[in-house]
Amino acid sequence: MTESKDLTHLRPSGEAHMVDVSAKPATERVATAEGRVVMSTDTLDLVLRGDAKKGDVLGAARIAGIMAAKKTHELIPLCHPLAITKVEVDIAPETEPPASPASPGPPGPPALRVQATVKVTGQTGVEMEALTAVTVACLTIYDMVKAVERGMRIEGVRLIEKQGGKSGHFRAEGR
C-alpha cells in the first residue's frame, strides 16, 4: 500500500501545471522499467532468427526505445526536458512463470521482455523516460511483426526500480 501524497502536477484549484524544480539540487537519478510483448512461439522464433520482412526487429526496437526516452518531454505534457546521460534498452526472450508459486503449472506463452534503464544527473527523475522507452520499444516490436501475428499483447509495463531524488529508492514488489 502506498502513502497518500499530494498530486504535484495539480494546483489547489485543480489546474494542471508543470512542477517548478529549480530549487532542487541536481543529483544522480536512475530508473528502470519493464514490459512484455506476448506472442506465439512461431512469431518469437521468426524474430529471434532475424527473418522478419521489415528487418532487424530487436535492433529497431532498441533504437526506438532510446529515441523515445530522449523525446519523453515532447510526448508527456508536464515532463521536463532532461539531459539524459544514459539509456539502455535490453530485449530478451522469455516465458511466463506459472500463475502462482504455490500452484506450479506449465510456463505461459512466449514473449519478448523489454527492460529500459535511464540515467540523469538532474533536478527531477527519469521514471517517465524509462516507461516511455519500454512502451515505444514494445510498440515497435508489434509494428514490425504485426503482419505475421496481430494478436500479440503488450503487457506488464511498469516501473521496477528508481534511485535518487527526494523520495529515495523504490523497488517494485516481486523484484
Catalytic positions: 143
Outline where 11-109 has alpha helix (H).
Answer: 41-49, 57-70, 72-75
46 neighbors 132 (Cβ within 8 angstroms): no
DSSP state of 34: E
Cα dist from 102 to 3, 97, 98, 109, 173, whole Å: 30, 12, 9, 19, 17
Helix pair 127-145, 41-49: axis angle to 10 deg:
100
Other CB atoms closer than 10 Å to residue 172's CB: what's the count?
A: 13
Give the DSSP letter string of 113-157: EEEEEEEEEESS--HHHHHHHHHHHHHHHHHHHTTT-TT-EEEEE
